[in-house]
Copies of this chain bind each other. A is one copy, B any other.
Amino acid sequence: MTSSPPGGARDTIGQGIRRARNARGRTLEQVSEEIGVSPATLSLIERDKVSVTRARLKEIAAALGADPAELGWGTDPEHEAQLRVEPESERPHVLGAAIECFTRRGYHGTSMREIAQAGHMSVAGVYHYYESKQQMLVSALEPAMVELRDAVVAAGQRHPEDEPEKRFAAMIEVLAIFHITERDIAFLGGSELRSLEGANRERVVQLRRGVQHLVDAEAQAAAAAGAFANPDILFASRMVVNMCVSLARWYDPEGPVGPDDAVANAVAYALAVMKSTAVGA
């Protein structure tokens, strides 16, 4: 057993996990159950489609009985860059409780007392980490939107500029993956944007617009290159982005269409829409 693949090319974190899991003859289902995530999520981690925290990586290594060095991380600066920023102490736990409350009763319907109860701590404890309910909402939404924006940019850049259709498809793929794996945040992004105040709202709205504009720009480039026939290119681009966004509201990863196929379908449907010629009124 070696800690890196033959030929000298280094594993990504996802490839390292998949290699170690396969070497042990363990299924996605077995390992994912042990670490308490869905098989779909573990599959996305192994395909480097979602980033993971250091804590989650340690759990995976433990479940596989693997040395972190064998899995190939902890020593490589590129791998460090792949990891999500390590959350500090109880902060994410408090924020998780707040997200749960906001999702269940709405932002205005949730009190700091209820967040404290959901997080099994005192109200003072909550205020130790967040100065206000508003700060918690923006802390839930803004980093997620930054992460999505950065992932969409990176996806586009994996293909050359003169292949806008591939860049567009890669962006749609990231959008579909995000809305399949981050449903709570995506739900709040749809229903509680109105509850963000002043500059907070402006920043998050700009981030959302930024994602749409990234997709729009590639759609327009693909149309200019003759790949997309749709005459209302920006309207179509809004429709396909929102089709992906809707996955967060209704898609069930345990249903008949698995997450990998759901993502592939979303990309195929988006291309079908962009290549369609509307019938006109």
Does the CB pair B243–A264 fall under 8 Å?
no
A242, B271: Cα distance in complex, Å: 17
Binds B, one of A60-68, A121-129, A146-154, A233-241: A233-241
Does the CB pair A235–B249 fall under 8 Å?
no
Of all chain B residues, the one with the shortest Cβ separation from A191 is: B191
Does the CB pair B194–A265 fall under 8 Å?
no
Which residues from 96 to 114 on chain A have a C-beta closer than 8 Å to any C-beta of chain B?
103-110
A278, B263: Cα distance in complex, Å: 10
The answer, yes or no, to whether A160 is at the interface (CB within 8 Å) is no
- Min CB gap A112→B, angstroms: 14
Which residues from 248 to 274 on chain A have a C-beta closer than 8 Å to any C-beta of chain B?
249-251, 256-258, 260-269, 271-273
The answer, yes or no, to whether A221 is at the interface (CB within 8 Å) is no
Number of contacting residues on A, CB 8 A? 50
Residues of B within 8 A of A242 (CB): 242-243, 246, 249-250
Partner of A268, one of B234, B267, B276: B276
- Take A108-B106, A109-B108, A232-B257 as given contacts and tell me if A265 and B278 are in contact as well, using a CB distance cutoff of 8 Å: yes
Partner of A264, one of B105, B250, B271, B278: B278
- A25-61 Cβ-contact flags toward B at 8 Å (1 or 0): 0000000000000000000000000000000000000
- Min CB gap A18→B, angstroms: 15
Residues of B within 8 A of A243 (CB): 239-240, 242-243, 246
- Min CB gap A24→B, angstroms: 24
- Min CB gap A227→B, angstroms: 15
Residues of B within 8 A of A192 (CB): 106
Partner of A261, one of B240, B251, B278: B278
The answer, yes or no, to whether A190 is at the interface (CB within 8 Å) is yes
Does the CB pair A269–B263 fall under 8 Å?
no
Does the CB pair A264–B239 fall under 8 Å?
no
The answer, yes or no, to whether A199 is at the interface (CB within 8 Å) is no
A58, B271: Cα distance in complex, Å: 47
Instruction: Return 20 A-B CB contacts under 8 Å, by A number.
Output: A105-B195, A106-B109, A108-B110, A109-B109, A191-B191, A232-B257, A235-B257, A235-B265, A236-B269, A239-B246, A240-B243, A242-B246, A243-B243, A246-B246, A258-B281, A260-B281, A268-B276, A268-B277, A272-B276, A273-B273
